[in-house]
Amino acid sequence: MLELVRINTFYDKSHILHDVSMEIEEGDVVGLLGRNGVGKSTTIKSIVGITPPQSGSIRLEGRETVGLRPYQMARLGIGYVPEDRRIFPTLTVRENLLMGMKSRKKPNQDKGWTIEKIYHLFPQLRVRDSFKGGHLSGGEQQMLTIGRTLMGDPRLILLDEPTEGLAPQIVETVANVIEEIHRSGVSVLLVEQSMDVVLDLTDAVFIMNKGEIVFRGTPEELRARPDVREQFLEV
């Protein structure tokens, strides 16, 4: 579904991603693991066009997307859940969700994701329906960000550190939601530091270190490689 071929991304003159190649098959959940600052978030931003690569190729179902703007990627069915959530603090929960809809979609149409489906997925958001986004807890804001992204009916959703800083109970909720998203037919790229979350949810795993992919395989293969886990993931 999505293929990255030897992409190189820079921040000014700083070379962040070095010949990064990876692929996401349709219907899969793919994990991208690594310590802080190794280039995981930059990989997602390269895909959606926030920091486009200076060389290499990104193909969505065979179509070259390097050079497209983030709104164009969204129209192609790529959903992005940023690490810093980016909710609208002065809008209510419901208004935040409505902001995620594509222009031709009606709020109550049955096809795709609706506010009612989001509230079924996140019952706590139904309770907070009229609350301003800035008054929500960190866990509730994360739920709202994921819900707002789903309102755009993505075919592929990119999740950047969705469990970071959350209480264990909320982490479990987010993990259950990722499974539900997967069951709905949406492909997922999950960027995480939590190895346990990734190994439990994914079909394939990539590990990044210093802007390079240093491991690719299945969760079972990573479980069988304590040397890789110790070198690139454990503190």
Q: pTM of the predicted model, to two decimals? A: 0.90
- The arithmetic mean of pLDDT across residues 136-140, rounded, is 92
Strand order in the sheet with 212-217: 78-81, 156-160, 187-192, 29-33, 204-209, 212-217
What is the model's pLDDT at position 102?
A: 76
Per DSSP, the three-state class of 79 is: strand
Domains of the chain: which residue ranges? 1-76+189-235
| CATH for the stretch 1-76+189-235 | 3.40.50.300
Q: pLDDT tier at 209 (50, 70, 90 boundaries)? A: very high
Identify the H or E element spanning 70: helix 70-75
**In this structure, are residues 151 and 101 in contact, taking their beta carbons and an 8 Å threshold?**
yes
Instruction: Calculate what percentage of the chain has a pLDDT beyond 70.
Output: 96
